Amino acid sequence: MSAQFITSVVTLVVIAKLIMVSCAYLILLERKVAAWTQDRIGPNRVGLSFGVLPIRHHCWGAGQPLADGIKLFLKEDYTPPGVDRGLFLLAPVIVVVPAMLGWAVIPWGGYLGWGDSVLHVTAAPIHIGVIYMLAIGSLAVYGVVLGGYASNNKYSFLGGLRATAQMLSYEIPQGLCVLTVILMHGSARADMLVNFQANAVWNAVYQPVLAVIFFTCILAECNRAPFDLAEAEQELVGGYHTEYSSMKWALFFMGEYMHMITGAAFFTLLFLGGWDLPLLSEPLVGGIALVLLKTGVFIGKVALLLFLMIWIRWTLPRFRFDQLMRLAWRGLIPITLLVMLMTGVMVFLQQPAWVALVGNGLIALLAVWLGPRIPQGAAINRRVPLPGSRFCPPKPVNPTS
Amino acid sequence: MAISCTQPWWSARSPIGFLDPSRERHYSLALIGLDPIHPLQHKAAPVPTLAQLMTADPAQQGAPLLFYACATLTCLSAWAIVFSQNIVRMSVYLLLTLMGAAGFYLMLQAEFLAAVQLIVYAGGTLILIVFGIMLTNKNPEMQLRATPMELGLGALVGVGLAALLILALVHTPTPGQGFTAVPADYQQVRAIGRSLLSENLVPFELAAVLLLVVMVGAAYMARRRAG
Amino acid sequence: MNLASETRWEDLWGDLWMVMPEVWLVVAMCAVVLAPFIKRRSVALPLGVASAGLMLAVMAALSSFASADAMGTVFTGSLVIDPFSQFFKVLLTLFTLMILGLWILHSRSQTDPADAPDFLCLLLGAAVGMSLMVSATNLLVIFIATETASMPSYALAGFRKRRREGSEGSLKYVLFGSVSSAIMLYGMSLVYGAAGTLSIYGIAAQAAAGISPLMAIGLAAMLAGFAFKLSAVPMHFWCPDVFQGAPIEVTTFLSVASKGAAMCMLLRALAAFAAAAPANGYLFVGIGVAVGILGAVTATWGNLVALHQTNIKRLLAYSSISHAGYMLMAASVAVIAGRSWEGGQHQTGAIQVVVGAVLFYIVVYAFMNLGAFTAATLLAMHTGTEDIRGYAGLSRRSPWLAALMTACLLSLFGMPGLGGFWGKVFLMKSMALAGGAGFALIAVLLFNTLISLYYYLKPVYYMYFVPDEDERPAFLPAGGGLAMLVICVSVLLATGLLPNRIESLARGYATLYPNPVITAPPPLETTVSLLESAPAHD
């Protein structure tokens, strides 16, 4: 067994366990932040004593996730009649698995010096790291689509359709952002991208527009508010997971949080310098203590981003669907293309990086200036006389024919 | 220790982001006299390809196992596409087939191709097909049934083609160039990019023209006539 | 192992000047799409832009004849610029200009001005694909160029969205086209796997060393793809429906430009194979025989089915199928006669004779088909019928139109004194190079010509010998259409009266870029299995 193999396995196991547990606490955090935003207290009843242990303090509701978990396990797992059973079972799995696969290439703790060799503190240090993340991310949409389809429910179906269109649309600017970062650094290796940022300055500083767009895309990719139209309860009951219950529903629920974590880690890796902190980046390769410190820095950044995501969810209202599409196709994609073009020209001319900042600023100004001036086209919510729609009721069938 | 810093357009630790990995160099570490161990320079830590990683040490048994796993996945799901009667299920099986093919690419150390296969086919084309089916089909649960005639004809053509291909494969000598190992430091993304912009520039650019024309045509076909 | 390429983009910059015809077409195509931003709902602006682009392309193609430097392979061998390709590009762009004329004549009044840029963009896009098809020497370029030519054609075939036949034809075209593309691509993958190279010259060299069964299957599948573009017989079902349903200018474009480009592409591939022919490769000759049989079947089938057509567009569709068959038969000779069977001597110039004959035929065929379709358009505009029974008494109602259309139809048949006759004569002359097999081909060609006489004369019979029972009034067709007809017929007369001059001209342009010297493949490296290739990890 090579040392790298052992490192990979250890990283994988530790990180996977850590994220699984933190998923549960992320839900608690979500409820807490929601409560703070709405000037409530939030869940604070379930402590850690569970009626058995001698802990008298309420522990700020720290036992809530465990109680939730037990509740979900004990709920009736109801499969409605008329569903496509295989796909109905498969869908929640497909939601969760791509999110977990994404953790494999994230360089959590930089490099571990072990004797003579340098080991990657990554489960799978592969060449195409960030492209792999994109590839895996593009599979997640199947869970939502198939869940919506298999449920045999119109609301679920609509939710699935919405989610498909949304995820496909936002994958494009996301991919373009990743390409721009690769273009800047000339490498698609996750660890190299972090190294470059550690040696210079984080990408978010030089490409703020790109960073904001990428963050938006992550929100859209994990169907978080303000992009949670696929499960908009006012319109679609529960969207694609209306018909799910018990642990299958819990998988959808956890999948969302896992996607958040994966997305936040992806963002940290691309734009926030990964494990880099200004004073910490000097020894590139270190012992276990340094690796743990760096992992802590990485996870801290991820946690901050997660908090930001939750904050956004409880602050911003939901988009309307046509606004959502317009944002992607008329806003994000052209802007990202412009940034990419600018970066390409810069790299070709070997310009210093501050030019990128200037370019980003100019592009942002251009977008702000041009945005209101682009003709909006026809009204979206006009009547569509499709046969069979409520604007064009079906003709009465001739009984003789 | 000695690290030459020829710096054409940026200086060490200056806030410059654009680096060329072929000109790897170290910054303040060299200045303060620490011996930097950089993963790109350190000979003991090449980044393995995924295939190497999976087949690396555990008894060197991984590769055949992986191959048979991918082959089974691809073949079984391909069969399932043919025999399934539900069009959405077919697309799921097609997804599995594509993933199996991506697995083959991984085993051939063509990681980039594998990722692109997933991005373009699984994440893009196939999901658009599913989307199209769901949007256009009045009843997505439509059952596709072949008549016995069609089944017979299809089976005949399929078996004939398979026989022909197997015969051909048996009688075809090994191709001229043998398979060669990919060097450990081979940067495939870079090589593919270079090839697309040099030897294969014409197909690459022509594909752009093709996409533009197709887009215009599709937009025309989809356009509802005003008024 | 040379995995990384050494070509730099600076080296490719100069090559751009050698593909200026395509560059102008692409520029015009993009400009046409952007034209509505300058002036909404204008037809004149995009039309002017498209015509300007086409004219610039014509000039660029013509100017490449001026110096010998402008010929050769470009873009690291993906494309080849030689007199053959440039000649076809001139022909193609001129022909597309005439199609624009036909469109103004026939469809402009029926087209929403907002749709004009789309039509022109699609037409120019198809032209880009066709002109690159002729230059392609690389399987990848062949495939993408073919798709670039096909995809817009699908949309063009259904451009009249309101017409039921148009939509039906377009749908059939798309389905057949995508299936045949898939077959072709599959064949290409097999060929690539067997030969290890994408260049047709490299493949020809490998095939000369011995065609493996895998490569044979691959080549056959590729031939199926070509057959679709040529509407050769097993893949011809789309042709009549598309031709009938599409607007007539699109039909003309597809029947001539699309087939011509596919023919030229096939010729280039066959010539590459012929030039690489080994001393005794009977399997190799099999490629030629396969193409020849395909051509013979296509010609015969097309003619037999054409016999009982009453719609002029369907009749001309089957006629175009049979003409593709004639050209295929001649093209097969390039491989069969590339080497003589007895002496082991390479028949110098055989390829050039064949290519010259086919090129001459394409020129003549372009004009006679354009003429026939223009006449049919004019008739349809004035009589409102595409049925040949509606042509009754035309000789009295519009004698000029009747005469000109008769000339075109007779040229399609091969009447002496008109270009079509000499086209067939030169085809037969080149077939004679192939010895016994060639005489069989000549016999098939003569037999088919006899059959075709019946259906080419049928409209003529109605025009001249059947009195008009409805007593419809006389009419004078539109001046522009008549002018185009006159141009076509005068070209036919010129080729008919001065065949030798024009044939030698065509043969001069039939100079193909010679097969580059293929260096011997590198010595067989020991096959390294995946396990061995994975270096020990640390």
**pLDDT digit string (tens) for B96-129?**
999 999 888 887 777 888 888 888 888 888 888 8
- Three-class secondary structure of residue C435 per DSSP: coil
Least CA distance to A114: which residue of chain C?
C538
> Residues A125-139: pLDDT tens digits?
777 888 888 888 888
Q: Which residues of B touch A200 (CB under 8 A)?
A: 13-17, 19
Q: Check if C10 contacts A (Cβ < 8 Å).
A: no
Comparing alpha-carbon positions, the chain C residue that sits nearest to A5 is: C537
pLDDT band at C533 (very low <50, low <70, confident <90, very high): very low
Kindly state whether A329 is in contact with chain B, defined as any CB-CB distance less than 8 angstroms.
no
Task: Give the residues across from A285 on adjacent strands.
Answer: A111
Q: Is B17 in contact with A142 (Cβ distance < 8 A)?
A: no
Confidence of residue A377 (pLDDT cuts 50, 70, 90): low
| Secondary structure (3-state) at C138 | strand
Residue A3, chain C, CB below 8 Å: the answer is yes
Q: Do A117 and C537 touch (CB under 8 A)?
A: no
pLDDT grade for B213, boundaries at 50, 70 and 90: very high
Q: List pLDDT tens digits, range A67-99.
A: 888 888 888 888 888 788 888 888 889 888 988
**Is residue B12 very low, low, confident or very high in pLDDT (cuts 50, 70, 90)?**
very low
Question: Does C141 sit within 8 Å of B220, measured CB to CB?
Answer: no
pLDDT reading at C305 higher than 50: yes
Please name every residue paired with A51 in a beta bridge, in sequence order, or none if there are none: none
Section C438-444 average pLDDT: 88
Query: Once rounded to an integer, what is the mean pLDDT over residues B81-90?
Result: 83
Closest residue in B to C151 (Cα) is B214
Residue of B182, B206, B211, B221 to mutate for C, most C C-beta atoms under 10 A: B206
Res A384: pLDDT: 60
Q: Identify the pLDDT of residue B38.
A: 39
Residue range B50-150 in CATH 3.40.50.300: no
C22 → chain B, closest CA residue: B206
Measure CB to CB from residue C530 to each of B107, B195, B218 and give the nearest one. Answer: B107
Q: Stretch A209-237: mean pLDDT, rounded?
A: 82
User: Based on the structure, what is the number of domains in chain A?
Assistant: 1
Cα(C442)–Cα(C433) distance, rounded to whole angstroms? Answer: 11
Tokens of B58: 């555990």
- Taking one residue from B and the other from C, the number of pairs with CB-CB distance under 8 angstroms is 175
Residues of C in Cβ contact (< 8 Å) with A5? 537
User: Cβ neighbours of residue C248 under 8 Å, at least 6 residues apart?
Assistant: C102, C106, C107, C313, C373, C376, C377, C380
Helices (H), C414-467: 419-431, 436-465
Which residues form the domain of A174? 75-370
CB-based contact (8 Å) between C538 and chain A?
yes
- pLDDT tens, residue by residue, C22-66: 999 999 999 999 988 888 888 889 999 999 999 999 999 888 887
As a whole number, mean pLDDT of residues A129-151 equals 86
Identify whether the C-beta of residue B107 lies closer than 8 Å to the C-beta of residue B179: no
Query: Which of residues A7 and C457 earns the better pLDDT score?
Result: C457
Least confident range of A96-100, C458-462, C510-514: C510-514
Kindly list the distances between the CA atom of residue C223 and the CA atoms of A19, A318, C137, C321, in Å, as whole numbers in the listed order: 56, 55, 15, 16
Q: Rounded mean pLDDT of C414-422?
A: 86
% of chain B surpassing 70 pLDDT: 60
Neighbours of A115 (CB within 10 A): 9
Spatial distance between the Cα atoms of C258 and C128, rounded to a whole number of angstroms: 11
Residue C310 is given by DSSP the state -
* A2 neighbourhood in chain C, CB within 8 Å: 537-538
What is the spatial distance between Cα C101 and Cα C91, in angstroms, rounded to a whole number?
Answer: 15
What is the signed CA dihedral for A267, A272, A277, A282, rounded to 10 degrees?
100
Q: CB within 8 A of C474, min separation 6: which ones?
A: C396, C397, C398
> A12-16, A317-321, B152-156, B157-161: which range is least confident on average?
A317-321
Number of independent structural domains in chain C? 1
Tell me the residues of chain C between 110 and 129 that have a Cβ less than 8 Å away from chain B: 112, 114-115, 118, 121-122, 125-126, 128-129
Residue type for C465, please? F
Q: Which candidate from A2, A8, A126 shows the least CB-CB separation from B111?
A: A126
Is residue A294 domain-resident?
yes
Q: Cβ of B21 and A203 within 8 Å?
A: no
- Check CB contact of A126 with chain C, cutoff 8 Å: no
Query: Among A116, B49, A11, which Cα is nearest to C538's?
Result: A116
List, for residues C153-204, the tens digit of each pLDDT value: 999 988 887 778 888 888 889 999 999 999 999 999 989 888 888 888 888 8
- Would the pLDDT of B39 be above 60? no
**Would the pLDDT of B51 be above 60?**
no
SS (H, E, C) chain A: CCHHHHHHHHHHHHHHHHHHHHHHHHHHHHHHHHHHHCCCCCCCCCCCCCCCCCCCCCHHHCCHHHHHHHHHHHCCCCCCCCCCHHHHHHHHHHHHHHHHHHHHHCCCCCEEEECCEEEECCCCCCCCHHHHHHHHHCCCHHHHHHHHHHCCCHHHHHHHHHHHHHHHHHHHHHHHHHHHHHHHHCCCCHHHHHHHHHHCCCHHHHCHHHHHHHHHHHHHHCCCCCCCHHHCHHHHCCHHHCCCCHHHHHHHHHHHHHHHHHHHHHHHHHHCCCCCCCCCCCCCEECHHHHHHHHHHHHHHHHHHHHHHHHHHHHCCCCCHHHHHHHHHHHHHHHHHHHHHHHHHHHHHCCCCHHHHHHHHHHHHHHHHHHHHCCCCCCCCCCCCCCCCCCCCCCCCCCCC
**Half-sphere CA count of A398, side-chain side, radius 13 A:** 2
Mean pLDDT for chain C overall: 83
Banded model confidence at residue C347, pLDDT cuts 50, 70, 90: low
- Per the document, the length of chain B is 227
Q: What pLDDT sits at residue B24? A: 38
Chain-chain contact of B56 with C537 (C-beta, under 8 angstroms) = yes
Per-residue pLDDT at A156: 84
pTM above 0.90, yes or no: no
On chain B, the residues whose CB falls within 8 A of the CB of A279 are none
C338: pLDDT strictly greater than 70: no
| CB spacing of A138 vs B124 below 8 angstroms | yes
- Interface probe for A, chosen from C8, C40, C538 (most Cβ of A below 10 Å), is C538
Answer yes or no: is A7 within a domain.
no
**Of the spans B35-39, B163-167, C5-9, which averages the highest pLDDT?**
B163-167
Say what the pLDDT of residue A325 is. Answer: 85
Note down the domain range covering C153. 13-516
% of chain C exceeding 70 in pLDDT: 90
Contact residues on chain C for B63, CB-CB shorter than 8 A: 530-531, 534
User: What is the pLDDT averaged over residues B194-213?
Assistant: 88
Instruction: State the helix-helix crossing angle for C350-383 and C479-497, rounded to 10 degrees.
Output: 150
Q: Note whether B209 contacts C125, CB cutoff 8 Å.
A: yes
DSSP string, chain B: -------SS--TTSS-----GGG----HHHHHT-----TTT-TT-PPPPHHHHHHSSGGG-HHHHHHHHHHHHHHHHHHHHHH--BHHHHHHHHHHHHHHHHHHHHHTT-HHHHHHIIIIIIIIIHHHHHHHHHHH-S-TTPBP---HHHHHHHHHHHHHHHHHHHHHHHHSPPPSSPP-PPPTT--HHHHHHHHHHTTTHHHHHHHHHHHHHHHHHHHHHHPPPP-
In chain A, which among 66-85 make CB contacts under 8 A with chain B?
84
- The residue in chain C having the minimum alpha-carbon distance to the alpha carbon of residue B50 is C534
Closest Cα in chain C, distance from residue A373 (Å): 15
CA-wise closest residue to C419 among C307, C495, C343: C495
C449 and C414 in contact (C-beta within 8 Å)? yes
Phi, psi (rounded to 5 degrees) for B15: -70, 70
Residue A2 touches chain C, beta carbons under 8 Å: yes
Does some domain include residue A243? yes
B89 contacts A4? CB cut-off 8 A: no
Q: Average pLDDT, stretch C116-142?
A: 92
Mean pLDDT of chain A: 83
Question: Between A and C, how many CB-CB pairs are < 8 A?
Answer: 7
- C147 falls within a domain: yes
pLDDT tens digits, A11-37: 888 888 888 888 888 888 888 888 988
Asked if B15 lies within 8 A of A164 by C-beta distance, the reply is no
Chain C hits for B216, CB-CB cut-off 8 Å, are 33, 118, 121-122, 125, 155
